[in-house]
Amino acid sequence: MANDLPFERRPLTRKRFMQLTAGAGAGLALAGCGGSSADEAGGGGGEAAETGAAGAEYTGPNVSLQFWNGFTGGDGPFMREMVDRFNTEHPNIKVKMVVQQWGDYYQKVPAAVAAGRGPDVGVMHVDTLATNAARNVIIPLDDLAETLDLSEQDYAKVVWDAGVYQEERYGIPLDTHPLGFYFNKAHMDKAGIDKAPITAEEHEEALQKLKSAGIQHPFWQSSTWPAHLMFTSLLGQFGGSIVNEDGSEATFADDPGVEALTWMVNLVKEGYSPKNVASDADYIAFKNQKNSFHWDGIWQTQDLKKTKLNWDVTVLPQIGEEQATWAGSHNLVIMKQRRPDDNKIQAGKVFINWISEQSIEWAQAGQVPARNTVRNSAQFKGLEHQSELAKQQDYVVFFPSYPGIGDIIAEMEQAVNRAVLGKQSPQQSLQQGASKADKLLQDNKKKYDY
C-alpha cells in the first residue's frame, strides 16, 4: 500500500481499526504505553489557571500537552504545521504531537487512559465517540461548546448532532471527509459525454456510451474497501439505515439495502466491472486509465493531483430517491485522566478551539471544514475539489454512533463482499449479516447500557 495514502484507503488498517474500536476490552492489555500522567507532564497540583472560561483563553502556568492522532498520510504534515504555529502563538502551552497508525491508536489510547498514562487531547472518528465515551476514555465538552457559543447553527446539523452521546457532547467537529464521484475526462470526451451524470438514468446511459467507445470496464466495483462506503451511501439514497433508531436492530437488510446492493452487484453482472476486484485495484485502475468512473473519498484528491491523469470529481450521482453520501468526520476530544489537572484541561480546550478555528489550513489536506464560517469562506471556495464535495455537507451519512458499532459495520461489510463476489444473492447475504448483527447489538445494549 502506498505510504502517502491516508488510512481510509488502507483496508487492512481500516478493518483492524473497526475490530479494535468495537469491543469493550480491546487494547486494555497495553497498560504501559505512551502518554504522560498529570504528575509527569503538568504537575497536577500546580497553580490554577486564572480564567474559568473553557477554551476561551489560558493564563495559567506553563503546561505540556500530549496530542495523539493517526494522521500518518499526506494530511500529517498539515496538522503538524498547525501544531507548531499554535505553540509559537501560545508560549505557556507546549503541544507535542504523537502520530501512529489509526488501528494502533484506537488500541493504545484506551489502554493508556486506563493505566493513567493517556494523552491529553486527541482525534477520534465520529463513529468511535460513543464507544470511547461509554468506556470513559474521553470526557464531555459541553462547557467548551457553551463558553465558545458553539451550536448547531455553526455546523451542518448532521455533523453537530453526531458528537453527542447520551445527551452529552464528547467531540468538537473538525471536518468531514465524504465520498466523491471521480471521472476520467478524456474517456468522457471520447464517449461524447459532456457532463458528469447526476441521476441513475444518466449514469446508466454514460456507462453504455463508455463501453461503446471501447472502455471495456468503465466502473470497477470493488468487493472490499470502499464497497461498504458505497453501500452506505446507496442505502441512504434508497431511504434505508444501518440500524434502527434506538440501536437495537440491524436494518441494512431491509428493502432499501437490497436495492442498494443489487445496484452494485449489477455493475458486475452487466459487464461494467470485472469480477473479483480486490482492495485498491479499482483505484489503481482509475489512475492507470483502465476505468472511467470511481467512487472514493475526498482524500484521493490529494494523491490524484500528483498524477498527469485528466480527471475531475463531483458529488455522487443520485441513484435512489434521496441524496445521501457516506462521510467520516474527525472530532477533537479530551482524554479522561486518573488525576485530572485543571490547567491541562483548560489548555487542551484552548488548543481544540484554536485548531477548529484554523481549519481552513486543514482543508488543504483534503478535508471539508466542519465550521460553517470556514466552509463558507472565500478561501475555502478557492479549493476547487474540496468545495465541490462540500456541496454534500447537509446530506452526509455517518456510521451510527452507538457503542461497539464497529462489529455491526464489519458484518455489513462482509455481507457486501459476499454479494459482490457472487457467493450469495444481495438479499441472502444481507439477511445473514443482519442476523449476526442483531445478536451483537443486543450484547452491546447490555454491555454499554444504552
Indicate yes or no: pTM above 0.85.
yes
CA distances from 263 to 200, 223, 411, 416 (A): 10, 13, 19, 12
Average pLDDT over residues 191-217: 97
Confidence of residue 51 (pLDDT cuts 50, 70, 90): very low
Q: What is the pLDDT of residues 368-410, one digit of tens each?
A: 999 999 999 999 999 999 999 999 999 999 999 999 999 999 9
What average pLDDT does this structure show over 197-220?
98
pLDDT of residue 298: 97
pLDDT of 2 strictly over 70: no
Q: What is the rounded CA–CA span in Å between residue 86 and residue 380?
A: 21
| pLDDT at residue 325 is higher than 90 | yes
Given a cut of 80, whether residue 23 has pLDDT beyond it is no
pLDDT on residue 56: 77
- For 296, residues 6+ apart whose C-beta sits below 8 A from its C-beta are 9, 179, 180, 182, 226, 282, 283
pLDDT, position 53: 62
- The confidence band for 147, taking pLDDT boundaries of 50, 70 and 90, is confident
For residue 25, the model assigns a pLDDT of: 38
**Residue 267 scores a pLDDT above 50:** yes
The answer, yes or no, to whether residue 311 has pLDDT greater than 90, is: yes
Q: Which of 198, 274, 245, 231 is nearest to 409 (CA)?
A: 231
Domains for the chain: give ranges and CATH numbers.
7-174+329-357 (3.40.190.10), 178-327+401-448 (3.40.190.10)
CA atoms in the 13 A half-sphere facing the CB of 26: 24
Report residue 57's pLDDT band, with 50, 70 and 90 as the boundaries.
Answer: confident
Q: What are the pLDDT digits (tens) for 230-246?
A: 999 999 999 999 999 99
Of 179, 174, 123, 178, residue with least CA distance to 371: 174
169 or 20, greater pLDDT: 169
Query: Does pLDDT of 349 surpass 90?
Result: yes
> Are the CB atoms for 128 and 106 separated by under 8 Å?
yes
CA distance 121 to 42: 13
Mean pLDDT (whole number) for 40-53:
40
Judging by DSSP bridges, how do beta strands 175-184 and 293-297 pair with one another? antiparallel
Cβ atoms within 10 Å, residue 245? 9
pLDDT of res. 55: 67
Name the more confident of 334 and 37: 334
